[in-house]
Amino acid sequence: MEKKVSIIVPVYNSEKYLKECLDSLTGQTLSDLEIILVNDASTDKSYNIMLEYEQLYPGLVQVYSFQQNSKQGAARNLGIRMAKGKYLLFVDSDDVLELRACELLYNRAEAMQADIVFCDYIMFSEEDERYCQHVQNVYLGNMTVEKKKALLTTSVVPWAKLFLKSLVVDNNIFFPEKVFYEDQATTYLYYLYAKKAAKVESALYKYRVTDYSTSGKKNTKRHFQQTDMAIELVRRMEKRGFSQIYREEIDFFLIEQMYCLGVEICFQKFDDPSKEQLQKLLVCLNLLCPNYRKNIYYREYISEYYKKILEVHQVSVEELICQFQKGEFKKYCPNYTWQIKKCQEKIKEMVVFFKKNKIRTLLWGAGKYSKYILECFEAIGYRFDYLADRNSSLWGKKYGEYTIVPTTKVGEVDVAVIEYTNFYHDISEEIRAMKIKVKIVDLEIYIKHNLGLPFEQYLERIG
């Protein structure tokens, strides 16, 4: 008998947090679901906890077990094969699901007939927590090639998403087994086969950051498998015939996710960065993406910080390590803004819309790199009505030709331009708290992706 949702949870040595996770799953408000727990040869008390919940919730909780540790990919694959749900939801065993998560995700999937439903999430630790916006609405709806290209530059994790089971099974999209970073070779394939995507505008998933997670551990060679899984994704995409349509995105994935992230891992996750791994990253990039300098994302959007790292790395691994240790790369721009003048045609489209409709505008943020944005708009003869910042110590100070004003000035404009995707949610919530009616636009999203939409469709009304 088909269930509405199958929640699949790989479990390995999670006794510290497992009960909190399982309480959030067994307390879901959606009826007619199942919780599939796969014990990946745990050596602590996790298996006993799983059996306890299976006894407490017969018919709801099912426990399976591996005799040998096979990693999350194998556990998820077993869960997929055992699942009776119309939809699949992957949850990590130290994370927490909001109690209405399944109900809200399922109802949205049914209402929209969506293959994938996203939600936002909270990233939390013992010290703090942060709201993270998963994807924005402009990526969603009927999945055009342009939207799929955009999604290939976003979240690669399988959690905080509801997937139609037939999307996964009919297209034979399973995870690599006995490796770490298995999601990097898998999740994007779901996007490419999806016909429709939707979202619940709420943080329904809580992602716990610990020193014991795959991403948290230091000085372990498991991090090097991130490179292998990035290469595996490209191999899978090419085998399935996606390489011609999505060539630019595949190459950018190699540049950003394989190479750039791989270099960051070498220096952030290891006290002594591996020369061998750094050399492997460079060889793989040059071999798999020899024309990376011509890639449109590399040319127009990749940060100055990463470009300088790659330039130095091409000289020698020793020089790269030396400059990292000296902190030389910290002086370079870490985001897209330093190249924004290369995107003037898109900026002109914004300006035409603003002028034609007599739109009053505010640029939210007077940080270190806002100068690049202002220079780009000034180069085509446009001036914002206000430059605002929430830092009160900056109010009244000059920033180029602007005088910085409080963000409450947003109540006097029609559109607020947000500089970075990472700030988009927090700013929108701040505006809602002011009880102000205004439209906002994520400039980074608008600049980076050609979704084939007119500028006004990037605007979101607040209030």
Q: What would the mean pLDDT of 152-177 be, rounded to a whole number? A: 95
* pLDDT score of 217: 64
Beta pairing partners, 132: 121
Task: Pick 3 or 133 by higher pLDDT.
Answer: 3
Confidence of residue 374 (pLDDT cuts 50, 70, 90): very high
pLDDT digits (tens, 9 = 90+) for 77-117: 999 999 999 999 999 999 999 999 999 999 999 999 999 99
The alpha carbon of 385 is separated from its chain's Cα centroid by a whole number of angstroms, namely 32
Distances (CA, A) of 380 to 195, 363, 391, 407, 453: 39, 16, 29, 25, 22
pLDDT, tens digit, 9 for 90 and up, residues 231-273: 999 999 999 999 999 999 999 989 998 999 899 999 988 888 8
Q: pLDDT at position 213, please? A: 52
Closest CA to 88 of 21, 173, 22: 173
Q: Is the pLDDT of residue 216 over 90?
A: no
Question: How does DSSP classify residue 260?
Answer: I
Residues 113-157 pLDDT 10s: 999 999 999 999 888 888 888 888 889 999 999 999 999 988 889
Supply the pLDDT for residue 130: 87
Determine whether 66 is exposed, middle or buried from the number of CB atoms within 10 Å of its CB (0-12, 13-18, 19+). Answer: middle
CA angle, corner 215, sides to 213 and 219, nearest 5? 95
Q: Which of 403, 398, 438, 399 is nearest to 418 (CA)?
A: 438
pLDDT score recorded for residue 218: 66
Q: What is the pLDDT of residue 269?
A: 85
Average pLDDT estimate for 396-415: 97
Q: What number of other Cβ atoms are within 10 A of residue 367's Cβ?
A: 16
Pairing, β 402-405 against β 398-399: antiparallel
Please choose, from the candidates 134, 112, 119, 149, the residue with its C-alpha nearest in 3D space to the C-alpha of residue 453: 149
**pTM metric for this prediction:** 0.89
**DSSP code, position 257:** I
- Closest to 318 (Cα-Cα) out of 286, 274, 288: 274
